[in-house]
Amino acid sequence: MKLSENWLREWVNPPATATELAYKLNMAGLECEAEPMLDVLPKGIVVGKILSTTPHPQADRLRICEVDAGTGEVLQIVCGAANARPGILVPAALPGAVLPNGTEIGKAALRGVESSGMLCSASELGLAEKSEGLLELDPKAVPGTPIEKHLGLADQLLVLELTPNRGDCLSIAGLARETAALYGLQMTPPRIRPAVVEPETRVNVIVDDHGGCPHYVGRVVIGLNSKARTPDWMSERLRRCGIRTIHPVVDITNYVMLELGQPMHGFDAEQLKGAIRVRRAKAGEQLKLLNEQAITLDPRDLLITDDTGPLVLAGVMGGTASGCSALTTSVFLEAACFEPVSIATSGRRHKLLSDSRYRFERGVDPALQRQALERATALVQQICGGRAGPIVEVGIAPAHVAEITLRHSQITRLLGCEIPVNRVVPLLHSLGLAVNPTGANSWKAKVPPHRYDLRIEADLVEEIGRLHGYDNIAPRAYAAELAPFSPKETQRPLDRIKDALVARGYQEVVTYSFVDPKLQAQLDPETPGVLLDNPIAETMAVMRTTIWSGLIPTWQYNRQRQQKRARLFEAGAVYALEGNGNREQAKLAGLIAGPQLPEQWGVASRPVDFFDARVDLEALFGTALGYESAQHPALHPGRTARIVRDGVAVGWLGALHPRLAEAFDISEALYLFELDWTAVRGLALPAPGGVSEFPSSRRDLAFVVDEAVAAQALAEVIREAAAPLLKTLQTFDVYRGTGLPAGRKSIAFGLIFQDYSRTLNVEEVDAVAARVAASVQARLGGSVRE
């Protein structure tokens, strides 16, 4: 939000520059930065009045204007603006003038006609990026007045980034209140007098939902001058705050919003049918908004309606049927307080942003409406004329919203410094709180309705600390007890796993947790995702259920930039719907693609395969993980394994499904893995053991088994049968072909036996080998190959 420094100083004028004021506000918890409205002020540009215009004899688009620039003589200036016409006042750059962009203006001949200066548009003055035609000034402007004086261009902008709990500072009044409290000054707000009520014209107001709208005021103003224009002083203040001028009544309601913090709306009273009603929407109702967007209303939406139907999505945006036009001669001005959560949810539901919603969802003073209405009435009568009707009011404006007990001992304890007792009450009074003593060094504070954020004692202590000045609190040493963190011996540190992956050539990536719903549906169609209510974009509308939805686009991005080899991994959370809530789960995922080794002369290049990914996992987790053939919708039917640990599925490993590879335009081999980190981070407790002094013995056994028997299943049977003498089991050959029946294969293992107490003899080793052969025969139907 941007506010004018000059406007603020009309309310309170601290003895500080704009930069010093911004620093003071920053130190008080209001993020603020001061910046000049214009980097360079124009020089030699004055108010000029066009007396007459004649066509240029040599150019159809040019006009020769006679201009009164307050110099005592009529100047001849050639101008090409379409709106150059007799009687209007515009900025005139005299010979010798310098525009903000550095252009110097002098006398010149344009197509043979002498021009003594230049008539300026808003963009040429640096007041707008683009503009069409000359900047038309107030009819009462005095020719010859320097333009920087007439428009008040010597100004600074206070750029505020407020936290959501400080909605009370989203106005000149709120910022002035803070500034006055910080500098110990008194505010001088504009005097607002109640309007003289002349006609008894009124619009009935009915509020059906008092919870959603606790306070509503409105009045009719008739007899407006439909040709009135917004004065320069108002349009300039609106422009500096980032609001464009539209219509005098609309501009006045925006001005009051910026000045007092109360969003308002002006209806064309002649277009209203029946009573104004504040109610919830009916299912299926439609509303076309001022931004030309048509929305279907939800029964939870709060509306302002008349007998014809919805006029305004309350607190968010008006409808096309609710606005004023160039023909408007009577208006119904409204000011209301709406419940913040209702406005916030309606705005998010329909994806609508507005200055009104921004303020209402942070909390608008429920006692401000009548004051804002009187201020708007006075401005309407000042600019457009008219006669005001009586105020129609529904609801009661509260005097305060909370009572909080404050103890001086708590101030000292929470701030860590001593605040004199006699300073507490003046500091709270400066914020508008009514304070009464309740005992020795304790008080009862009544919170004004504009301070939604003050609810508990600690909030008042924080306010005292802000006003006292955080930089005035001396540093001191505090005794603290810090319990050292001792990681469990049975848990594998994630950082160590990351380091191991990096050592194997992987690079860590961090991707968004919200992803493209279409991509996720292709990768994980069986898991319901968590939809976002207000996504950044349509391609980031759902929370990820698999980290692959971030890894694959990352690989595609790099591949499009000639990165042919990839080793990527990410550790993060995935999310899924579970019952009435959401489930969050930590995962570790990776992707490999391209050549198995970087390009070199010593080894022939080959693409990565399933076993390259598996060997990386085995390097991380050893033999703690097992692999079994399975099916996954995102992975190749014949190159996919479910990863298990202690009989429990903990993840997946496999090649990207050919259907998806074609859809993603990926021609290279692409292998993925994903593990449940919570399930795989556990380790067995280390068990110390001695080194045997006795020699080992080896037996090589080749088993003929069915093709369906996995090598891992065969190895598990061998280990079980050969225990406890078996120390190492190695797979060294797999054979299919001549000499073996169809559908059978041969897998050869090296079995290494050893004992810690003695040398094993041949008979003992043969007995174990025989036991292994018998077990394989009985459990897997395998036989020892001769």
pLDDT category at 488 given cuts 50, 70, 90 is confident
CATH 3.30.56.10 assigned to domain 406-472? The reply is yes
Is pLDDT above 90 for 392? yes
Two tokens, residue 384: 């457009």
Specify the pLDDT at position 685: 65
Is pLDDT above 90 for 266? yes
Instruction: State the Cα–Cα distance between residues 283 and 295, nearest whole angstrom.
Output: 12
Instruction: State the Cα–Cα distance between residues 630 and 117, nearest whole angstrom.
Output: 83
Specify the pLDDT at position 686: 67
Q: Is 586 exposed, middle or buried (0-12, 13-18, 19+ CB in 10 A)?
A: middle
| C-beta separation of 94 from 69 below 8 A | yes
697-784 fold? Alpha-Beta Plaits (3.30.70)
- Identify the CATH assignment for 494-680 out of 3.30.930.10, 3.40.630.10, 3.40.50.1100, 3.40.630.30: 3.30.930.10
Cα→Cα distances 195→122, 381, 588, Å: 35, 9, 69
- Percentage of residues in the chain having pLDDT higher than 70: 99
Instruction: Summarize the confidence of residues 554-563 as an average pLDDT.
Output: 91
Two tokens, residue 239: 């422009």
> Model confidence over 407-438: pLDDT tens digits?
999 999 898 888 899 999 999 999 999 999 98
Name the residue among 314, 330, 320 with its Cα closest to residue 276.
314
- Percentage of residues in the chain having pLDDT higher than 90: 68
DSSP string, 333-373: EEEEE--HHHHHHHHHHTT---HHHHHHTT---TT-HHHHH
> Model confidence over 516-529: pLDDT tens digits?
999 999 999 999 98
pLDDT category at 94 given cuts 50, 70, 90 is very high
Cα→Cα distances 741→181, 701, 732, 785, Å: 95, 19, 21, 12
| C-beta separation of 625 from 644 below 8 A | yes
Altogether, the residues listed in the chain come to a count of 786
Q: Fold match between 406-472 and 697-784? A: no
2-37+155-183 fold? Phenylalanyl-tRNA Synthetase; Chain B, domain 1 (3.30.56)
> Model confidence over 567-580: pLDDT tens digits?
999 999 999 998 88
Cα-Cα-Cα-Cα torsion 422, 428, 430, 434, nearest 10 degrees, comes to -110
Helix (H) or strand (E) holding 416: none
| Number of Cα atoms under 13 Å in the Cβ half of residue 418 | 1
pLDDT category at 322 given cuts 50, 70, 90 is confident
Specify the pLDDT at position 200: 84
Instruction: State the Cα–Cα distance between residues 208 and 204, nearest whole angstrom.
Output: 13
Specify the pLDDT at position 337: 94
Helix (H) or strand (E) holding 75: strand 74-79
Domain ranges of the chain: 2-37+155-183, 43-150, 205-395, 406-472, 494-680, 697-784
Instruction: State the Cα–Cα distance between residues 383 and 406, nearest whole angstrom.
Output: 47
Classify 43-150 by CATH class.
Answer: mainly beta
> Model confidence over 200-209: pLDDT tens digits?
888 999 999 9
Sign of the CA dihedral with 229 first, then 235, 238, and 242 last: positive
CATH 3.40.50.12170 assigned to domain 205-395? The reply is no
Instruction: State the Cα–Cα distance between residues 362 and 170, nearest whole angstrom.
Output: 10
747 DSSP β-pair partners: 703, 734
Do β-strands 276-280 and 205-207 pair in parallel, antiparallel, or remain unpaired?
Answer: parallel
> Model confidence over 682-714: pLDDT tens digits?
877 667 777 888 999 999 999 999 988 888 889
Output the pTM of the full model. 0.70
Specify the pLDDT at position 397: 86
Instruction: State the DSSP code for 408.
Output: H
